[in-house]
Amino acid sequence: MEISEILKVECCETDFNANSKLDALKKIAEILKKSEHLASFKSDTIYEKLLERENKGSTGFSNGIAIPHGQLEGLQDFVIAVAISKKGIDFESLDKKKSKVFVTILGPAGENVEHLKLLAKISQALKEPSMVDELLNCSSKVSLYENFVTSAEGIIQVEQAKGKEKLLVLIVKDEKIMDDLAEIFVEFGIQEATILDADQMKNLLSTKPLFMGFFNFTGEKTNFNQIIISKIHKEYIRAVVQSIERIVGDINNYSGLSLLVLDLFYSKGF
C-alpha cells in the first residue's frame, strides 16, 4: 500500500493549532472529513473513533510527533491526514513536550494487518530527524504533501507528468475575493498564473442602442471581470476547490465566480 495513493492534498494542513488535546482531535476529524472517502461520515463520528483509541493510551510520541489513528465501521479505504503546528500542542506525549507533527491514520474496521503495516511505515519514516525538520519548514499544502510522500516512500512519487496536469480557469466577477484567491494560490504553491482583463458580452453590447434595453434599462456595466488561468496537478484540484468554497460558499450559488477545469491535450511553453 503506497502512501502516495492514500494521502491527498486536501488532508494536509500547515497552520494547525488547537487549545487542547481534545480540541486537536476535533480539528483533525474536520481535516479528515475533507477526504471524499469520508464525505458520508459526520465529523463527530470520526472524532469519537480517534478519541476511543486515545483513551487506551496517548498516541503522542517523542520528538514532537503524534500519530492518532483508529478504525471506522463502513469506511472502505484508508485515509491519512498530515497537520503541522509550528507552536506545538500539548498532546500528552511520552517526553512531555508539545507535539508539532500530526500524522493521522483512519482505516476500515477489521483491516488490522494493513492498518499496522501503514502505522509502522509512517512511524519508521518519522524517526528520521531530517524528515521532521523538512515538514516543519513547509509553507504550503502542496510542499507538505510532496515532502511527506517523498520522505515516507523514499522516492519522489509526485511527478508533473503528461496527463497529470489540468488547466484551471477562474472567471472572477467579484473584486473583493481576489486577495483571497491569491492566498489560496500561495498556499498550494501555484507560482505561475495568467490574469486577463475581460469584458462580458453584455457590457460590450449594453452601449449599443439595439441591445441596451435587453440587458438592463440603464446600460450599467459590471466593471470587474478577470480571468485567471493556471496549470495545476490533477491531485490538487479537489483541495483547491474546497479552499475556494470555504470563502465563497457553494460556487453554484455564488455569482461572483465561475470555475472550469479542462484536460490539457497539448501544451508548449506554458
**Residue 95 sits in the same domain as residue 137:** yes
- pLDDT, averaged across the chain: 84
- Are 10 and 123 found together in one domain? yes
Q: Are 205 and 130 part of one and the same domain?
A: no
Confidence grade of residue 22 (pLDDT, cut at 50, 70, 90): very high
Q: Which domain, by its residues, includes 74?
A: 3-153
| 88 found inside a domain | yes
What is the reported pLDDT for 196? Answer: 85
**160 in a structural domain:** no
- 85 lies in the same domain as 213: no
Query: Residues near 134 by Cβ (< 8 Å), separated by ≥ 6?
Result: 147, 151
Specify the range with the lowest mean pLDDT, choosing from 19-33, 128-142, 154-168.
Answer: 154-168
C-alpha 43, offset from chain centre:
17
Does one domain contain both 242 and 170?
yes
Work out the angle at residue 148's Cα, subtended by the Cα atoms of residues 50 and 101, and round it to the nearest 5 degrees. 50
Among residues 126, 153, 180, the one where a domain terminates is 153
**270, part of any domain:** no
* Overall number of domains in the chain: 2
When pLDDT is averaged across residues 41-62 and rounded to a whole number, the result is 93
Please identify which residue in the block is written with the cell numbers 507528468: 161
pLDDT tens readout for residues 228-270: 998 888 878 888 888 898 889 999 999 999 999 998 877 777 6
- b/e map 161-177, b = 16+ CB within 10 Å: eeeebbbbebbbbbeeb
* Predicted TM-score (pTM) of this structure: 0.72
Domain with residue 117: its CATH number is: 3.40.930.10
| Interval 90-99 mean pLDDT | 91
Q: How confident is the model at residue 79 (pLDDT cuts 50, 70, 90)?
A: very high
Same domain flag for 148 and 206: no
Mean pLDDT calculated for residue range 33-51: 95
Residue 51: pLDDT band (50, 70, 90) is: very high
Domain presence at residue 194: yes
**CATH number of the domain where residue 231 is located:** 3.30.70.120
Residues 137 and 27 in one domain: yes
172 plus 94 within the same structural domain: no
Q: Which residues are catalytic?
A: 69
Tell whether 268 is covered by a domain: no
